[in-house]
Amino acid sequence: MKNIRNFSIIAHIDHGKSTLADRLLEETATIPKEKLSPQYLDKLDLERERGITIKLAPVMMKYGGYSLNLIDTPGHVDFSYEVNRSLATVEGAILLVDATKGIEAQTLSNFLLATEQKLKVIPAINKIDLSNAQIKETTNQLVGSLGFDENGIFKVSAKTGQGVRKLLNGLIKEVPEPIGSQEKPFKALVFDSFYDQFKGIVAYVRVFDGEVRKAERIRFLRTGQESEADSLGYFSPELKEKDVLTAGEIGWIATGLKEVSKVRVGDTISLMGKKVEPLLGYKESKPMVFAGLFPVDRDDFKLLKGSLEKLKLNDASLTYEVDNSPALGFGVRAGFLGLLHMEVVQERLEREFGLELIISSPTVRYKIIKINGEELVVSNPSSLPKQTEVKEILEPWVKGSIISTKEFLGAILELVNSRRAEISNIEYFGDKVKISCRLPLSEIVTDFYDKLKTVSSGFASFDYELADFRPIDAVKLEILVAKEPVDALSQIIPKEKAFRTGKALAQKLKEVIPRQQFEVSLQASIGGKIIAAERIPAFRKDVTAKLYGGDRTRKDKLLKKQKKGKQRMKMVGRVQIPQEAFLSILKV
């Protein structure tokens, strides 16, 4: 164990974590240079296309007689549960700060997460190769607001490799050797997992005590499930087999289990017949936004359910329950950590499981107090009790912090004030300012982040967590398409906004729902009263003729190809409604 070091790289999004991981893979000759594509540990197509890390990614590196287990982490707030779980498996963390940006919101929140877990945090300033790098200023921020010793701050370029070897050696010196004991019976923490068609469930583990050998019988303490360690090994970053995993190591165990509910992230694995105390595990993640997921093809519901179970193994922050929508049929109501998470789940289900899905309007979760004292939590407008039964509706509020350079303070305050915010504190450090505030969650889950970036020319960053529930005067805004109420387009919404939103939504829907064979009426209604109406005229004959003239199948195919992923349609009653319509609420 003396020769093992376990560490994560944490930072705000885009500060260079995955690129630094590349340099470490190169410096330790884990991956030959010619094979090393940028952000090598970002394995999902989705990560590569979007240029962001979504999943934690472990890799073992050999260097100077040491085994170094690195876990690369995402920086976006929607994937903070990945960071959280990574940090529980390591003893140290490199806190990377982009020298052109300085400390940002997730720099702070990740720093706090790491110190809470009592990790050794090693500060490093990145991107020192850039001409606009503000090394002095960033150093001052790290010293002034996070309390680091100036001499302990590493300066690197993850792009050129400058300073990386020094950081690597510093890390070996400063990160303590793993906690745990070789002599005690085997005990390991499951921090991630995935489903493999052949291997069954594969658990990512951090071994705390003892050792496990191939073919030994193991037991999941929380679920009581028993199985065999069919094979096990380390990450290179691909799965590489070996015969034994011992205390201090990070690796994987293939269980052969096919029943996905039997393995849970945060569970403890022991050897069968050996009594050990379970590890603490993790706090469950708290979903922020909820939406319905419905297969375009109704026959795919079973596939959707099976796929979600498997995806959940690899995305512990995903929650869902079966839902039956009058308009969209059988599907699930799922909880996400934010809109980006929601998009990623939809895309992964489509890419990895071949589903085609419609996602309904995302909403937050409301607490309903009924006249008879009953309390319920509702995210789905269609499960709202009758108005006469409701005494009070409460909405979730968050505690947020915004970090920006001082010059944008005025514009940012204007933005947050337009979102019903309560400012609790404004602090200055160096040329930066931190605004602490409380905001209704519903005000930030849609376009807040984009607006914040716009008003601050990209310089402000934002982080938040759920705080409490507060009363709100809310109503159900219903949308009727061709006179039929469409639950998946309905919203629970503050009364003061309902009228304006209803009008805007009807107009937006008119733009995005294509013309049908017949005229389609669109109506917004509150409490049974129509507050806005629009009409989509039927399409004229010649338009159809033009569209479908000639080689129809070829054209259809072409159209389908062009629109793939973008123009998913769902038949609701007699009307074809595209995916975009269900997300219109985000745009009005």
Ligand X SMILES: Nc1nc2c(ncn2[C@@H]2O[C@H](COP(=O)(O)OP(=O)(O)O)[C@@H](O)[C@H]2O)c(=O)[nH]1
Residue 59 has φ and ψ, to the nearest 5°, of: -155, 140
Of 25, 97, 158, 253, the one binding ligand X by CB under 6 A: 158
Of 29, 45, 64, 130, the one binding ligand X by CB under 6 A: 130
Of 53 and 138, which CB lies nearer to Mg ion in the complex structure? 53
Of 59 and 474, which CB lies nearer to ligand X in the complex structure? 59
Neighbours of 138 (CB within 10 A): 25
d(CA 367, CA 466): 14
To ligand X, the closest distance from the beta carbon of 80 in angstroms equals 13
* Interface region with ligand X, contact rule CB under 6 A, candidates 152-160, 216-224, 423-431, 534-542: 152-160
Helix (H, G, I), strand (E, B) or coil at 282: coil
d(CA 185, CA 208): 10
To Mg ion, the closest distance from the beta carbon of 53 in angstroms equals 3
To ligand X, the closest distance from the beta carbon of 126 in angstroms equals 5
The DSSP call for residue 99 is T
Q: How far apart are the first and last CA of the chain?
A: 57
**Identity of the amino acid at 205:** V
Rg (C-alpha) for the chain, rounded Å, is 26
To Mg ion, the closest distance from the beta carbon of 57 in angstroms equals 9
Pair 229, 214: CB distance under 8 Å: yes
To Mg ion, the closest distance from the beta carbon of 18 in angstroms equals 3
- Residues 71-90 binding ligand X (CB under 6 A) are 75
C-alpha to C-alpha distances, 313 to 39, 253, 259, 322, nearest whole angstrom: 24, 14, 11, 18
Of 4, 11, 316, 480, the one binding ligand X by CB under 6 A: 11
H, E, C per residue of 40-77: CCCCCHHHHHHCCCCCCEEEEEEECCEEEEEEECCCCH
Of 61 and 357, which CB lies nearer to ligand X in the complex structure? 61
Of 158 and 304, which CB lies nearer to Mg ion in the complex structure? 158
d(CA 466, CA 169): 39
List all residues 6 or more positions away from 231 whose beta carbon is below 8 Å from its beta carbon: 199, 214, 241, 253, 254
- Residues 303-342 binding ligand X (CB under 6 A) are none
To ligand X, the closest distance from the beta carbon of 9 in angstroms equals 8
Say whether residue 127 binds Mg ion (CB under 5 A): no
Question: Residue 69's binding partner, choosing from Mg ion, ligand X, none, with beta-carbon cut-off 5 to 8 A by kind?
Answer: none
Neighbours of 569 (CB within 10 A): 18
Site string for Mg ion, 5-24 (x = CB under 5 A): ------------xx------
Residue 77: closest CA among 145, 10, 8: 10
- Residues 159-198 binding ligand X (CB under 6 A) are 159
- Residues 14-73 binding ligand X (CB under 6 A) are 14-19, 39, 53
Helix (H, G, I), strand (E, B) or coil at 365: coil
To Mg ion, the closest distance from the beta carbon of 41 in angstroms equals 8
C-alpha to C-alpha distances, 259 to 48, 189, 284, 285, 545, nearest whole angstrom: 30, 19, 21, 23, 52
d(CA 280, CA 266): 8
Pair 9, 251: CB distance under 8 Å: no
Say whether residue 53 binds Mg ion (CB under 5 A): yes
* Interface region with ligand X, contact rule CB under 6 A, candidates 121-129, 201-209, 290-298, 349-357: 121-129
Maximal C-alpha separation, the chain: 81
d(CA 45, CA 265): 24
To Mg ion, the closest distance from the beta carbon of 223 in angstroms equals 32
Question: Residue 13's binding partner, choosing from Mg ion, ligand X, none, with beta-carbon cut-off 5 to 8 A by kind?
Answer: ligand X
> The tokens of 37 are what?
């594509």
Of 134 and 270, which CB lies nearer to ligand X in the complex structure? 134
To Mg ion, the closest distance from the beta carbon of 79 in angstroms equals 10
Q: Is the dihedral of CA 28, 30, 34, 38 positive or negative?
A: negative
Of 75 and 292, which CB lies nearer to Mg ion in the complex structure? 75
- Residues 353-412 binding Mg ion (CB under 5 A) are none
To Mg ion, the closest distance from the beta carbon of 17 in angstroms equals 5
Residue nearest to ligand X (CB): 16
Of 53 and 379, which CB lies nearer to Mg ion in the complex structure? 53
* Interface region with ligand X, contact rule CB under 6 A, candidates 11-19, 112-120, 268-276, 419-427: 11-19
Of 126 and 268, which CB lies nearer to ligand X in the complex structure? 126
Of 18 and 84, which CB lies nearer to Mg ion in the complex structure? 18
To Mg ion, the closest distance from the beta carbon of 11 in angstroms equals 8
Q: Tell me the CB-side half-sphere exposure of residue 212, using CA atoms within 13 A.
A: 36
Of 155 and 365, which CB lies nearer to ligand X in the complex structure? 155
Question: Residue 127's binding partner, choosing from ligand X, Mg ion, none, with beta-carbon cut-off 5 to 8 A by kind?
Answer: ligand X
Say whether residue 155 binds ligand X (CB under 6 A): no
The residue ranges that bind ligand X (CB under 6 A) are 11, 13-19, 39, 53, 75, 126-127, 129-130, 157-159
The residue ranges that bind Mg ion (CB under 5 A) are 17-18, 53
